[in-house]
Every structure is written in C-alpha cells, then in structure tokens.
Amino acid sequence: MSESSVQAAAPVGTPLPLIGKSDTKPTWCPGCGDYGVIAAIEMAVKRLKLPSHTVVLVSGIGCSSNLPHFLSSYGFHAIHGRALPVAEGIRWGNHGLTVIATGGDGDGYGIGAGHLVHAMRRNVDLTYVTMNNQIYGLTTGQASPTSMLGQKTKSTPTGVIENPIDPVSLALASGATYIARGFSGDVKQLADLVAGAITHKGFAFVDTMSPCVTYNKINTFDFFRQRVYKLEAAGHDPTNLVTAWERSLEWGEKIPTGLFYRAERPTYEELEEVLSAGPLVGQPAGLKGRESLLDEFL
C-alpha cells in the first residue's frame, strides 16, 4: 500500500497512523528482557514519526522472533536463521520501505550467521536488532553461540567448552557501518541507539543484552547492571575503528554499551544499477530489449 493510497482513503489532512502496539499481546515470560526491546523499538519509530505502512518488521524463529506480531506495522515471520535474507529481499523489492529485522542470538549468530556476515559486507540499508540472552529460550535452555565458556545448560551439563561469538567484533570485521550494543534494562539508551540505526544509511546493527529470566540464571539484569558502562560517558569516538575494536574486546568486570562504530559508505542499493532507478515495485515490469537479449543466447 502506497502512502498516496492511504491518504486517498482518509479525509485530507488526516494524520497517517503511526506504529503502536498491536492487538496481539506479548507472550514472553514475565520479566523477560525482550519487553524492554519492544518498548525501545516503539519509542524509536514514534520519535521518527514513521507511519505504520512504511515499516516492515522481519524475524526468524525464537522467543524474540515473535516481536513483529506485537507492533502495528507490516511484518514477516521467517524460518529459523533466515530473517536477514528475507529482509534484504523486501528491501530490494521496495527500498522506499524502512526494514527492521529482529531476532535472537541462536537465530542470528547460529544458523543465521552466514547471512549476517554477507548482509553486513554488502552494507544493505536496513536495521538489525538482536535480543541476545546467551541461551536458547524457546527450546528451554540449551547453550547458544553466545553462552559463556563453562556455562552449564541442558545441552552442556558439565559446562560449555566452545568460545562464545562476540557479535560486536564480528560486525566490525564484516563491514557493518553502524554498530551498537544496548541493554534492555536501559530502554532510553536503547531507544536512542535504535533510532540512530534506523536513520543511518547502511547496515545498522544493534546487539542487545536481553536477559532470559527463566533459563539463564547467570547473565541476569543484576549481572549487567553491575558491569555496563556507557561509551559516550567514557568519551569514545565512534568514528575510530581501532578504538572501536579495542572496546569490543572488553567483556568481564566492565561491559560497554552504546555506539561502537559509525561510518559513511555507499549502500548496496546505491551501487546496484537496477535499484538506483527507484524501488522495483514502481518500475515497469519486464525486460527492456528482451528480444535482443535472447538473441545473444540463441
């Protein structure tokens, strides 16, 4: 639905509806960190005054991936690990839309890790917000790609023996041009980071520490509150790739949150010749010079 058709269906001067809560209520456990994430996304899109019909939320599979059901925008619930290729397809089909992908650490950093790396190196102009609870919540408490070394879970009763993925370092190495870490216990900062991600031109990544109150008794809200500090308060320069890398390696007694890195680089949409002519949905269907093109292969 185009903005013009929405306006035509409403009296002249009627404000277009902004994103809010949908009629479907969240089904997360009471106290889940994902409530803070959905609140931050809602705050960000309302601050930016984005009409509902111009935004698409895309997710994969997992507790966090239910998020598109709970906001009144367009949404697509993809299969496990495939949120980003679907989001890319939507973005390229109509890059007049604001596309926000959401998901969890298992969905995004496990089966979806390959898609994440390639979306970042392409610098596709979309936003990816992860809810990183360092555990598989939907399948009731197995170790995830970000579970801490030695952590005991249902699938690792004697402790995790694999080193965890560091999403921020991965994003820096892969070419994302907006890289941030938030904490669902600080909704105001998280909303600022999400709003900055949406307005950024290029691949914007917000890894959010979002505690699972049911299955992860280590990485709790208290765990993070005792450790997090804000990069902006520490005088961090987000245009400096070297210091961003150094900050990304901090994990332990101190855990930084905020904007690690931001850069300006041509997006995939700007470099792709077909997309430079505007959203595909607004371009004429079919191939120009089809006959001459077919002649080359006959």
Within 8 A by CB and 6+ apart from 189, the residues are: 182, 183, 230, 257, 258
Distances (CA, A) of 192 to 41, 42, 83, 247: 9, 11, 23, 20
CA–CA gap between residue 144 and residue 285 (Å, rounded): 44
CA nearest neighbour of 126 among 51, 37, 39, 56: 56
Pure H helices in the chain:
3-9, 34-47, 83-93, 105-106, 113-122, 167-174, 187-199, 221-225, 241-248, 268-271, 290-295
What confidence category does residue 236 fall into, taking pLDDT thresholds of 50, 70 and 90?
A: very high
Tell me how far apart the alpha carbons of residues 87 and 36 are, in angstroms, rounded to a whole number.
23
CA neighbor of 38 nearest in space, from 202, 210, 157, 196: 210
pLDDT in tens, 59-73: 999 999 999 999 999
Q: Any idea what DSSP says for residue 107?
A: I
Residue type, 32: C
User: Over the stretch 251-271, which tens digit does the pLDDT of each residue have?
Assistant: 999 999 999 999 999 999 999
Q: How much is the CA Rg of the chain, to the nearest whole Å?
A: 20
| Dihedral sign of CA atoms 212, 217, 222, 226 in order | negative
What the block records as the tokens of 137 is 């919540």
Q: Under a CB-based contact definition with an 8 Å cutoff, are residues 227 and 211 in contact? A: no
pLDDT-derived band of residue 297, with 50, 70 and 90 as boundaries?
confident
How far is residue 82 from each of residues 48, 107, 108, 156, 178, measured CA to CA in Å? Answer: 27, 8, 8, 26, 21
**Position with higher pLDDT, 220 vs 9:** 220
Q: Which domains does the chain have, with CATH numbers?
A: 28-295 (3.40.50.970)
pLDDT in tens, 95-141: 889 999 999 999 999 999 999 999 999 999 999 999 999 999 999 99
Taking 50 as the threshold, does the pLDDT of residue 4 lie above it? no
Q: Which of 144, 74, 79 lies closest to 106, judged by CA?
A: 144
Quote the tokens at residue 25: 């209520």
